[in-house]
Amino acid sequence: MKILVTGAAGFIGSHLCERLVNDHQVVGLDNFCDFYDIKIKRKNVAKLSKNENFQLIKADIRKLDELEDIFALHDFDLVIHLAAMAGVRPSIENPVLYTEVNINGTVNLLEECRKHNVKKFIFASSSSVYGNNKKVPFSEKDSVDHPISPYASTKKAGELICHSYHHLHQISLVCLRFFTVYGPRQRPDLAIHKFSRMMLSGDEIPVFGDGSTRRDYTYIEDILDGILKTINYVMSSTVFDVFNLGESQTISLSEMIKTIENELQIKAEKKILPLQPGDVDQTFADISKSRKILGYDPKTNFRDGIAKFIDWLKENQD
C-alpha cells in the first residue's frame, strides 16, 4: 500500500512514518515552516530518509500546483492528513494563516483525492473542537458548535469539509480528535516539553491560572496505535466517522508540574500569570466508541509517559 502522510516531519508525523515504513511505501510531505526550529524537524526524519520505503517531499498544502505534481506522480491508496498550523494561542494572533493552512490546505488535499480517485482519507482533528463544553467526558455525539479559538474553529471546519467530500465523492473518511499528545519529539512550545527544559536550565516556568485546568494527556505510542487501527477501519469500508483518541483520564496543570518535578528531582520556580484567551478549562475523552469500533486501548499512564519523555529529553539536550 502507498500512503501519503502530510506533516511527516512533525512530532506525530515522524513517529507514524517510522511505524508505517515497516509494511508500506510512504511519501512524507512537509513544508518545514519556521513555527519552531527547522533543525528539529530535519532531525525527526533523519533516520527515515535512509529507508527505501520512505520518500520525503518538501511542499506546501496551500499550493495546489505542488500537490497536483505529487498526486500525478504517485498512485496513493490512502492519505493521512496531519499537517496543520498548531496551537491555540498563536492562532489568535494570526487567524488568517491558520485559515489558509488548516482549511484551504485540507480542501486542496481533498480536491486532489477527488481528481485522482484516492478514496481513503484520515484527518487529524483536535479535542479543542469541544471548546468549554460542560458535559464530561467529551463524546463524539456532543455538540461542537462553540469553539473558542481560531485553531479550534479550523479543525471543526476541516471535519465539516471532510463530511461533504464523503457525501459528494464517496471518499471513505475518518476524523480523529487527538487529546494533548506528548512523548519523545513533542513540540518544544508545548507545556510538558517547555517546562521540563526550563526546569533543567533553572529557569522560571510560566503558569497560567491557579493550576486547576485539566488535560487528557495521551502518550504518543497510544496515539499511533489508534491511527494504525483507524487505517484498518477506513480501508475496509466506505464510511464517514469521528473518533476520540485520548487516555480518558485528566491531569491538572499542578499535577503535571509535580510529576515532572518528581521525575527530574527539581523544584520548579513558577511565575503565576492570568489565564490565556482561547485556553479551555479541561479536556476529557470518552473513548468508549473508539474502544468498541477500532479496538483502541491506550496503555501508558501519565507517570510512565513522563518518565519516558524525560529520558528522551536528557539524551537529546543541545
Residues 70/4, Cβ–Cβ less than 8 Å: yes
Grid cell at residue 97: 494563516
Q: Which of 151, 165, 182, 296 is catalytic?
A: 151
Q: Is 182 a catalytic residue?
A: no
The number of residues making up the chain comes to 318
Q: What is the DSSP letter of 212?
A: -
Beta bridge partners of 54: 26
Rounded to whole angstroms, the Cα distance separating 309 from 192 reads 9
Grid cell at residue 152: 479550534
Instruction: Identify the burial level of 86 via C-beta atoms within 10 angstroms of its C-beta, where 0-12 means exposed, 13-18 middle and 19 or more buried.
Output: buried
**For residue 151, which amino acid is it?**
Y
**For residue 243, which amino acid is it?**
F
Active centre residues (catalytic): 151
